Structure 1
Amino acid sequence: MTETLTDIPQGTDVPPLTEANAEGHLTAICFKIGPPRLTGVEAEWFVHDLRYPDAAVDPRRVNRALAALPSGPDRRPPGPLFPAGSALTHEPGGQVELSSPPAESPGDCAEGLLLDQGALRSAFAAEGLRLTGSGTDPLARERRMQLPLPRYLAMARHFDRSGPWGRTMMCGTASLQVCVDAGTERGRASYTERWRLLHLLGPVLVAAFANSPLLDGRLTGHRSTRQIIWSRMDPTRTLAPRLADGDPAENWARYVLDAELMCIRRGDGHSWSAPAGRTFRDWLRDGGERPPTVADLDYHCTTLFPPIRPRGHLELRMIDAQPESGWLVPLALVTGLLDDPAATDAALAALEPLGTLDHLPPRSGLWRRAATLAMTDPALRRAALACFAAAEQALGRRADGERLRGALARFAERHPARGRCPADDQLDALRAGVRPVPQESAPC
């Protein structure tokens, strides 16, 4: 991930924001209204040395691997060209992420990202590296910040004020994100209904795909340690916005303005760190060192990390990174339930007994149970099995759903049906005396 200074305010010709027009701007852009159509996936991995997985990987080796891929002189941002057009980003601790372009169907999304993942895996293998799909790095490797960019330095300073969890998140965790359109203004596919369903589904996604029982080579007592880490960080930017009532767009606008500032972009090599304890609303009211602009507000939104982030589309952020092509299954489950009315109804019937949305994730008791017990929790397992069955039936009704339906069915049989999640595979490996490193094992 790169940072540029091209859109940082350099003068005073841009009129300052007020609280009223800031809220108006946020409510206008957070949910893009229209028939749901597009789907995307952002898949993240750790990078390990094939021969010495316990050693930190020199970033120069990663760069050499990527340099072997085709590149385009006009590509923005700069980076390798993948066959299906995915974008590659680098995360602070050396993790890499492929973001698929928005696809017209889940099947198209899957085909494209599989192709690009294969190209990335092959390039890394040629350099003696492998991709590791796990929510936390399971090995006791040295963790260090590999991207000393102004954004990440300010982020680290902000999180350091409340403990070690922020730096652990930045350098020691990896996620899978499924992205879907927000929905229509009214009706069964409305953004309010999809927003509610996805938050009800959240703990099932945490539990079913929990894949981080280890941190720094040690058992943590949780199956999704990554989710526990998120629950211990700055609540003004990691809790969900108000869910139980009110318009989601208005609730989101208030949430954004009341979140603490993480960074203030400055030029000329100055630190981007923000004063402790100040919210964006405070900045609007007192003007600070300079009045904030719409560009500052939009950038502030990129520093907020609730379980579901509205960015015009909806970005699901609660899922641990998965081994191999395991991202296919969350993609199948989410889209199967969202895109089929009968599946939506079945999911709601299965999820509503789990509880209300009055207690905000990820700090609610239900979300903590999901992170710790995963599919050994009877209520979460029942809900998961019903959701998997509904999604499988929905995908069976799609002309292009066979690949995703097959992946979903195989995962359901191997994991939820047996009270298991991917974290249990890591734990089995540990008990067998094998390094629990979920990796890309498909032939290159």
Structure 2
Amino acid sequence: MTTAVSDSPVVTRAAELTDWIAAGCKPKSAWRIGTEHEKFVFCRNSLKPLPYEGTKSIRGLLETLIPQGWTPVMEGGNPIALTHASGAAITLEPGGQLELSGAPLETIHDTCVETSVHLNLMKSIFEPLGIGMIGLGFHPKWKREDFPWMPKGRYAIMRRYMPTRGSLGLDMMVRTCTVQVNLDFSSEADMVKKFRASLALQPIATALFANSPFTEGKPNGFKSYRAQIWTDTDPDRTGTPEFVFGSGMGFERWVDYLLDVPMYFVHRGDRYIDASGQSFRDFMAGRLAALPGERATLTDWEDHVTTAFPEVRLKRYLEMRGADGGRWCHLCALPALWVGLLYDDAALGAAADLVRGWTAEDRAGLAAVARRDGLSGGFKGRPVRNLAAEVLAIADEGLKRRACLNDDGEDERRFLGVLHHAVDTGKTPADELLDLYHGEWNGSVDPVFEAYAY
């Protein structure tokens, strides 16, 4: 949660914003793992998304959790998120998707326990009510207009603004789900090295976790349609920021990028003030048209940082954003992949060597192949499947060297098993879904809501 604006210092210089990001640097002993995962919530009888209000509703689910140790975050008299003493939060996405924003934890064993506790708790509440939840990258059945909109002020502003910047932004808001992991860095140089390696390899995660081959009940021609959605959402704030690979990359250069991202809103009390398309630089100077004479605070900056959506996002940590939502086992596999690659020095060096020499055209080409073909595509004269195998081998070694053991003496490599299976078979989750659709499901996506529900 951000600090109250009244308690937050006014910022007038970009250097203060750079210092805010740089304050995220931590010694390796303090590095943590934060996993976030979204899921679609639906009525088991109708398969339709849950509305915010009603007998079977998102509001009712949130209110049921409050007596179990969760504190509501209110907006306009409505609970729109929950926080927990552990540091975790349950947040509400625009179309009623529920997200667990996990606490910062030391090992992937810990984050997988957190995921299991969360999903089991939700199931215990949902099942008696005839409610289900499922993790997919893009909703396989319903049209955009079939989704309810949640009562959050920032979403109303984004809903108006998105269609001015791309044709698929509203689909991104209500019909997609993702899983991501948030990781730390020790210094500016460490951040840059991790940012470059993870940004170049983000399409490999997209391919391995590809899980959105259907739109409105039919195959859509992509293994990850969620990834395709981002290509026509808003060019000002999405995609692969190529300057990250340039010689001037650092905290200051990232702040310059964010200052060039148009604003969405300003949050004051219980209100979201529409500042869409306006400049944070003007806000710092007291020239924001939406709030003339008022100057930005660090809390306003924290809000603004969340409105940029590149494939890897820098806050006071790095967010890996390239994967589709998936089944239970995939929620633990994503942090395992990136921790193995980025939290071990030798693995990070090997990952950096692997992508060294790739051009902007190479990176764009790999991303296009990954979202369309998953592991079955080709890149620079070799199968993407083989490249993914090489990336997994690096992550395996990184996790082996970390040597973080559970009570049974197993290290974190156990969570990569589902990804090794994908590489060994050449089948992503999307391929498995398509096989079922063309086979025993007889051209229907409806069985996915039973077979793949949590």
Q: Work out whether the TM-score is over 0.5.
A: yes
Residues 28-61 of structure 1, C-alpha deviations (whole Å, 9 max, x = no match): 12241122420010011001222221x2323332
For these two proteins, the number of residue pairs brought into alignment is 424
Match of 1:435 in 2: 445
Match of 2:151 in 1: 148
Match of 1:425 in 2: 432
Is 1:390 the counterpart of 2:365 in the alignment? no
Match of 1:103 in 2: 105
Is the CA contact (8 Å cut-off) linking 2:192 and 2:249 kept in structure 1?
yes
Is the CA contact (8 Å cut-off) linking 1:134 and 1:438 kept in structure 2?
no
Alpha-carbon spacing, 1:349–1:409, altered in 2? closer, same or farther (3 Å):
farther
Name the Cα RMSD after superposition.
3.1
Match of 1:161 in 2: 164
Match of 2:126 in 1: 124
- Give the distance between the partners of 2:110 and 2:69, measured in 1 at CA: 27
- Give the distance between the partners of 1:148 and 1:76, measured in 2 at CA: 14
Alpha-carbon spacing, 1:393–1:244, altered in 2? closer, same or farther (3 Å):
closer
Match of 1:299 in 2: 303
Alpha-carbon spacing, 1:138–1:403, altered in 2? closer, same or farther (3 Å):
farther
Instruction: Name stretches of at least 5 consecutive residues in structure 1 with no aligned partner.
Output: none
Is the CA contact (8 Å cut-off) linking 2:194 and 2:348 kept in structure 1?
no
Q: State the secondary structure of the residue aligned to 1:315.
A: strand
- Give the distance between the partners of 1:248 and 1:442, measured in 2 at CA: 42
> Equivalences for 1:2-401 in 2 at 5 Å?
7=4, 17-18=11-12, 21=13, 23-31=14-22, 32-36=24-28, 37-53=31-47, 55-59=48-52, 60=54, 61=56, 62-69=58-65, 71=67, 75=71, 77=73, 86-141=88-143, 142-186=145-189, 190-241=190-241, 242-245=243-246, 246-265=248-267, 272-274=273-275, 276=277, 278-284=278-284, 286-288=287-289, 289-294=292-297, 295-352=299-356, 355-356=358-359, 358=360, 364-379=364-379, 380-397=384-401, 398-400=403-405
Alpha-carbon spacing, 1:304–1:171, altered in 2? closer, same or farther (3 Å):
same
Is the CA contact (8 Å cut-off) linking 1:347 and 1:386 kept in structure 2?
no
- Give the distance between the partners of 1:437 and 1:257, measured in 2 at CA: 46
Residues 266-320 of structure 1, C-alpha deviations (whole Å, 9 max, x = no match): 5686x622254x3323444544323331232222112111111112111111211
Residues 207-239 of structure 1, C-alpha deviations (whole Å, 9 max, x = no match): 111111122223221111111111212222113
Match for 2:417: what amino acid? A
- Give the distance between the partners of 1:152 and 1:332, measured in 2 at CA: 32
- Give the distance between the partners of 2:433 and 2:367, measured in 1 at CA: 21
Match for 2:429: what amino acid? P
Residues 331-385 of structure 1, C-alpha deviations (whole Å, 9 max, x = no match): 11111112223333333344446x23x4697xx2321221111101233222210
Match for 1:429: what amino acid? L
- Give the distance between the partners of 1:227 and 1:409, measured in 2 at CA: 24
Match of 1:405 in 2: 413
CA apart distance, 1:409? 2.3
Of stretches 328-337 and 389-398 in structure 1, the one that deviates more from structure 2 is: 389-398
CA apart distance, 1:441? 6.2
CA apart distance, 1:15? 8.4
CA apart distance, 1:134? 0.4
What's the TM-score once normalised by structure 1's chain length?
A: 0.85
- Give the distance between the partners of 2:160 and 2:368, measured in 1 at CA: 27
- Give the distance between the partners of 2:226 and 2:220, measured in 1 at CA: 10
Q: State the secondary structure of the residue aligned to 1:130.
A: strand
Alpha-carbon spacing, 1:155–1:368, altered in 2? closer, same or farther (3 Å):
same
- Give the distance between the partners of 2:59 and 2:411, measured in 1 at CA: 33
Match of 2:76 in 1: none
- Give the distance between the partners of 2:423 and 2:158, measured in 1 at CA: 36
CA apart distance, 1:100? 1.2
Decide which structure has greater strand share.
2
CA apart distance, 1:95? 0.4
- Give the distance between the partners of 2:294 and 2:365, measured in 1 at CA: 40
- Give the distance between the partners of 1:425 and 1:16, measured in 2 at CA: 52
Alpha-carbon spacing, 1:347–1:440, altered in 2? closer, same or farther (3 Å):
farther
- Give the distance between the partners of 1:443 and 1:429, measured in 2 at CA: 15
CA apart distance, 1:185? 4.5
What's the TM-score once normalised by structure 2's chain length?
A: 0.83
